[in-house]
């Protein structure tokens, strides 16, 4: 497994961006948002019914009509002609695919060969959105050269053509209809992809002028004891929740990839559990006792899941063997292994409270299962697990970062997760009931899953999201969710630089995600519930942070109930 890394060679670029903000604002448009909207996305070609060509990505992955994908031939080995040494692999581009119709799980496309003569395309070919797609910049005012330079540097995966002051034809016709066209005028930039308007981006100067004419919105203070029940039940989604009562709980000298709370199987004593690399540490929340477990086997420890009792699900990925996960128990004398070699991604769903045990779910893991997820309820049995009933989960479901609970108070559980497009989505009994408008970024980057039977096929990227926590004040259930901003650094692999916590809940089939007004100085790794408080694990710094550390802070659950 390889986590996404950022190398120090990029540091000068970031320093320049920090030291010279005037240069960035000279471009006049939200370049980060443009770069996010035109980011790459990998898909696979499918030959559908009646020879219709499709790709296996749809609206769940934020695919839009007009999106352009480059289709690649199978990768071939590249050898040094002098030494015969294999230098790597190269996949030649074969065609451009244009999306003509978007469905939830797939999209219909039409194909144009790159060469004048016919090209060979086949089901299973790799397709990458916006990669090596031709791009033009049309400057209708003649003074947008800075915008052109900035966009070209941010979007270097495009095949940039010439900079011109006149299009000569409509951006929806001719060669433009199979490329990306940026049209700059006095109000901002309009982006066309595949003959369709992909976005209209107002200039920052114009946006600032408009903002001055309207009163600024202020965060709403939440004082649960002072507000009526009717007001508490209907907060505005866009209004951040201002809370107080934060307290420091613990600090780690190294970055904590995951954090949770567990209780000793013997005494019930509470422990703060963290994962850093291959080491799991349990620190007594009552003081004085700490112990560690270092995973000795093959593969990489990718996540840790707990639900408040004595059990921990440890997800381990081996590029040769696949998932080799394990179950550990916390005892007064250290960690005890309950099961290992489990071929599933594991996660505890629900919460251990009032004598009720959480459910252990397992998601089958292979390249095929990433597209069509298979999830079972599991039970620990004789050093392994016993497979129980199959859970009904939607297309694109990932157990990483998922929650399962009755947040609508109607005795039916909601299933929430981050889809492959980075949006938080919520289902209830197969019905898609809610979806976030914003994209988010996982705290831990991702790992790559290859196909041992077909090494020429590019590996798939799997995001690892922070673990939510459920809490139940006044017989109502809420989900606290780590929310990390998806900006420029996360797009190029550096991980999010800043995050906050969202509180998700519903009433009368109306669902809301309300965020804390506090934006922490680093990404949120995980959240957990302990002793009437929400524990929040924050990574110090974020993008390009050296000497990484993590801190755990707490806030009363009573302050989080709208």
* Phi, psi of 14, deg, nearest 5: -65, -40
Identify the band that residue 226 occupies on the pLDDT scale cut at 50, 70 and 90.
Answer: very low
Average pLDDT over residues 326-330: 96
- Which residue would you say has higher pLDDT here, 164 or 225? 164
> Which one-letter DSSP state was computed for residue 78?
E
Identify the band that residue 543 occupies on the pLDDT scale cut at 50, 70 and 90.
Answer: very low
CA dist 504 and 11 (Å) reads 37
> What is the DSSP secondary-structure string of 407-455?
TTSSS--EEEEE-TTS-EEEEETTEEEEE-SS-B--TT-EEEE--TT-T
Residue 327 corresponds to which tokens in the numbers above? 């179950």
pLDDT 10s digits, 461-495: 788 999 999 999 877 899 999 999 875 444 434 45
Full set of structural domains in the chain with CATH: 27-77+90-208 (2.40.30.20), 220-560 (2.120.10)
CA dist 57 and 71 (Å) reads 14
CA dist 377 and 335 (Å) reads 24
Residue 67 corresponds to which tokens in the numbers above? 């999106």
pLDDT 10s digits, 126-181: 999 999 999 999 888 778 888 888 899 899 999 998 777 766 667 777 788 899 99
Residue 505 corresponds to which tokens in the numbers above? 């809940």
pLDDT 10s digits, 398-444: 999 999 999 999 999 999 999 888 889 999 988 889 888 888 989 87
Report strand pairing: 76-79 vs 86-90: antiparallel
Q: Are 517 and 544 in contact (CB under 8 A)?
A: no
Handedness of CA 309, 311, 316, 322 (dihedral sign): negative
3-state secondary structure of 233: helix
Handedness of CA 155, 161, 167, 169 (dihedral sign): negative
CA dist 201 and 30 (Å) reads 7
- Residue of 304, 313, 274 lying closest to 291 (CA atoms): 274
Distances (CA, A) of 22 to 96, 188, 201, 203, 212: 37, 17, 19, 14, 20
**Mean pLDDT (the chain, rounded):** 81
Q: How many helices (H) and strands (E) does the chain have?
A: 8, 42
Rounded to two decimals, the pTM is 0.60
- Per the DSSP assignment, residues forming a β-bridge with 72 are 93, 126
pLDDT at 337: 94
Q: Are 538 and 554 in contact (CB under 8 A)?
A: no
């Amino acid at each position: 497994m390889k986590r996404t890394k950022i190398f120090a060679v990029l540091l000068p670029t970031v320093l320049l961006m920090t030291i010279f903000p005037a240069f960035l604002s000279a471009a006049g448009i939200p370049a980060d948002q443009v770069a996010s909207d035109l980011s790459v996305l990998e898909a696979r070609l499918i030959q559908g019914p009646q020879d219709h060509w499709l790709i296996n990505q749809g609206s769940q992955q934020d695919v839009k009509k007009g999106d352009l994908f480059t289709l690649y031939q199978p990768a071939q080995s590249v050898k040094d002609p002098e030494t015969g040494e294999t230098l790597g692999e190269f996949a030649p581009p074969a065609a451009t695919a244009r999306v003509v119709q978007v469905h939830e799980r797939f999209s219909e496309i039409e194909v144009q060969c790159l060469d004048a003569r016919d090209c060979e395309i086949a089901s299973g070919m790799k397709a990458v959105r916006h990669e090596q797609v031709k791009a033009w910049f049309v400057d209708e005012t003649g003074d947008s050269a800075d915008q052109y330079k900035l966009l070209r540097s941010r979007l270097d995966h495009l095949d940039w053509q010439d900079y011109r002051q006149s299009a000569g034809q409509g951006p929806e016709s001719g060669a433009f209809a199979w490329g990306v066209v940026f049209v700059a005028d006095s109000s901002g930039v309009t982006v066309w992809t595949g003959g369709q308007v992909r976005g209209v981006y107002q200039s920052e100067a114009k946006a600032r002028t408009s903002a001055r004419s309207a009163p600024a919105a202020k965060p709403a203070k939440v004082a649960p004891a002072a507000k009526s029940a009717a007001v508490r039940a209907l907060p505005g989604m866009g209004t951040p929740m201002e809370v107080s009562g934060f307290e420091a709980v613990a600090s780690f000298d190294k970055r904590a990839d995951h954090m949770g709370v567990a209780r000793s199987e013997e005494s019930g004593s509470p422990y703060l559990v963290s994962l850093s690399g291959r080491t799991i540490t349990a620190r007594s929340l009552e003081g004085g006792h700490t112990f560690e477990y270092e995973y000795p086997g093959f593969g990489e420890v990718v996540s840790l899941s707990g639900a408040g009792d004595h059990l921990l699900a440890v997800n381990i990925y081996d590029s040769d063997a696949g998932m080799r996960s394990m179950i550990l128990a916390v005892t007064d004398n250290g960690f005890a292994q309950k099961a290992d070699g489990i071929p599933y991604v594991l996660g505890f769903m629900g919460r251990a409270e009032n004598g009720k045990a959480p459910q252990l779910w397992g998601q089958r893991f292979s390249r095929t299962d990433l597209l069509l997820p298979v999830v079972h309820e599991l039970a620990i049995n004789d050093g392994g697990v016993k497979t129980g009933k199959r859970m009904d989960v939607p297309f694109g479901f990932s157990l990483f970062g998922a929650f399962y609970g009755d947040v609508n108070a109607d005795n039916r559980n909601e299933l929430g997760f981050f889809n492959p497009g980075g949006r938080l989505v919520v289902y209830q009994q197969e019905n898609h009931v809610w979806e976030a408008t914003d994209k988010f970024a996982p705290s831990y980057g991702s790992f790559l899953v290859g196909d041992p039977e077909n090494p020429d096929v590019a590996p798939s990227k799997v995001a690892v999201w922070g673990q939510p926590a459920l809490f139940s004040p006044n017989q109502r259930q809420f989900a606290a969710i780590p929310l990390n901003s998806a900006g420029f650094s996360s797009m190029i692999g550096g991980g999010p630089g800043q995050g906050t916590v969202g509180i998700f809940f519903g009433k009368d089939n109306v669902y809301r995600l309300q965020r804390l007004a506090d934006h922490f100085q680093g990404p949120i790794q995980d959240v957990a519930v302990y002793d009437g408080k929400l524990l929040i694990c924050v990574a110090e710094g974020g993008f390009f942070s050296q000497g990484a550390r993590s801190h755990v802070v707490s806030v009363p659950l009573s302050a989080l109930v709208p």
